[in-house]
Amino acid sequence: MIIHEVGSVQLWIGECAEENDVLVRSAKPGWWWFHASDGPSAHAVLRTSAMDYEQCRVCADLLRAHMNKKSMRVDMVCCRHIRLTEVPGCVRLLRGPRSTFIVAQK
């Protein structure tokens, strides 16, 4: 598990399917979940219900960097709207995600 400080809160990023499941299981309903839009990726959870624009941008960029991508679309949704499936590391979204496109900073 990788932990980043984002302002006064933490972003936790899973490094395998089992850690991704732990993140989802331990998340509070108001926290925020991040994932690449276009395929498999690490799951990330921002441990706050009061996310601002800058925290959103930083979290998406940290996930992009973790995935070693120059750019990628990142989905985010409040944790109350995700459920684990029987497949380790997979979730089902109960509500459509909000997407943000992140480009690597120069």
- Say how far apart CA 20 and CA 88 lie, in whole Å: 8
| Average pLDDT of the chain to the nearest whole number | 91
Cα 101 to Cα 3, 16, 36, 73, distances in angstroms: 22, 23, 10, 4
Query: Would you say residue 101 has pLDDT above 70?
Result: yes
pLDDT of residue 102: 76
pTM exceeds 0.85, yes or no? yes
pLDDT tens digits, one per residue of 43-59 = 999 999 999 999 999 99
* Whether 63 contacts 42, CB under 8 Å: yes
pLDDT of residue 106: 56
- Say how far apart CA 18 and CA 14 lie, in whole Å: 8
Q: Other C-beta atoms within 10 Å of 35: how many? A: 20
